[in-house]
Structure 1
């Protein structure tokens, strides 16, 4: 569940193979503005998430569809760790910090092997509606 960054602490923008995705949430809608991301396996993906909603949100990338429910349910008991359940860490590839209303957070990771990887908001049961997919290609 690592968050990659450069030596200077800024996102890994010095690499040519970086895909940058800007997404946001607004108002009281439990949704991401981007629900499908396509990126090449092995490249660096930088998700810049702007929380323009009235609630806290995060982005948690899980390994497969079957991981959504267990991670989402476990997150209900994970208030002390920004709603990211430590007991389900083997199901989680990467996660952002919790974004409070008006904040922007960044999540940087190496795109996993080809496949489809769900991302969800684990804050306070938002995972049931707030979902997207990372599609990793060859």
Structure 2
């Protein structure tokens, strides 16, 4: 590069820098003040889950026979709105899922054996005396929402009653 080109480039850089600096300056920025700066702080209210009348729960089941939650926590007497989503693509006949909340002390193996006989009823046994709440049986891409009152304090079992699923698709429903 020759000397005149270098001078031109340097001159352009000097002009550009001056323009940038002058564009960023304002009258306000040159004024110094000792006045306190006011800032707005938004208040967030933390709601105690125990004081909520209703709790919304989303539970997802997939084609690998898995729920995305193994524990669900609620409070005694709360209205529970539970949505079960089948995030897979397989049809109900081969990979149907549901959510069944059982009463304390229910024998899971015995319940599953009875449920397996109830295909026409979505694998919900005719005797529902051990069931607190349940969704319908759904296939890939489907959802079902149920609403029920949380039972008394304690730990309850939930499961998918489709034959063979409960060994992997189960969890604890903790009522505080």
Length-normalised TM-score, structure 1: 0.81
- Picking from 112, 116, 125, the partner of 1:76 is 116
Deviates more, 1:111-120 or 1:63-72: 63-72
In structure 2, the residue matched to 1:122 is 161
Checking the alignment, whether the CA contact within 8 Å between 1:48 and 1:107 is kept in structure 2 is: yes
* Structure number with higher helix proportion: 2
Instruction: Measure how far apart 1:65 and its partner are.
Output: 4.9
Bigger share in strand: 1
Q: 1:41-68: CA deviations, max 9, x gaps?
A: 0010111111012221000100125432
**How large is the Cα RMSD of the aligned pairs?**
1.3
Count of aligned pairs between the two proteins: 120
Q: Does 1:38 align with 2:111?
A: no
- TM-aligned CA deviation for residue 125 of structure 1: 2.1
**Is contact 1:73–1:125 with CA below 8 Å preserved after alignment?**
no
Instruction: Name which one, 1 or 2, has greater alpha-carbon Rg.
Output: 2
Cα separation, 1, equivalents of 2:155 and 2:87? 27
Q: TM-score, normalised by structure 2?
A: 0.64
Offset at residue 37 of structure 1 (A): 0.8
Higher relative contact order (CA 8 A, sep 6+): 1
> In structure 1, which of residues 13, 19, 27 is the aligned counterpart of residue 55 of structure 2?
19
Task: Report if aligned partners of 1:60, 1:122 keep a CA contact under 8 Å in 2.
Answer: yes
How far is 1:35 from its partner? 1.4
- Alignment gaps of 5+ in structure 1: 1-15
Runs of 4+ with >3 A deviation:
none
